[in-house]
Amino acid sequence: AAVAAARSAAPRGARVTMDRAGELWRVRVEAPTPGPGALSLTLKAEAAALDESRVSGPGIPGNPDEPGGPGDATGSVRAAGSRGSANAGRTKGGTRALSEKAEVRT
């Protein structure tokens, strides 16, 4: 899902890579710019996000296993920021479906 989101936002012909570094997922995007000869260049961008499934636990904001948390079986979802989590409403397994490293060309 994360690679697909990065790919949809990246320009055509961009190289999108994703890998894990400890508790962080890193997404890198490299795209060539159009231009004649020496005026063309490659733009690079990188983003990192904490793998919340590795740091969740009792008392941690946004814990999906906590009753009433984002992963609660009742289907209830709190508004973002209601417990200090910018990712309220995401499921615990959201990043687990990703491989340790992925590369996609658009």
Residues spanned by the domain of 34: 1-50
What pLDDT is stored for residue 60 in this prediction? 57
Q: Does residue 79 have a pLDDT over 60?
A: no
Final residue before a domain boundary, out of 29, 50, 71: 50
Are residues 18 and 1 located together in one domain of the fold? yes
Q: How many domains does the chain have?
A: 2
Are residues 57 and 43 located together in one domain of the fold? no
Are residues 44 and 5 located together in one domain of the fold? yes
Two tokens, residue 52:
């919340």
For the stretch 41-55, pLDDT in tens is: 999 999 999 888 777
Are residues 66 and 27 located together in one domain of the fold? no
**Strand ranges across the sheet with 24-32:** 42-50, 24-32, 15-21, 101-105
pTM reported for the whole predicted model? 0.48
Are residues 67 and 40 located together in one domain of the fold? no
Over range 21-39, report the average pLDDT: 89
* pLDDT bracket for residue 4 (50, 70, 90): confident
Higher pLDDT, 32 or 60: 32
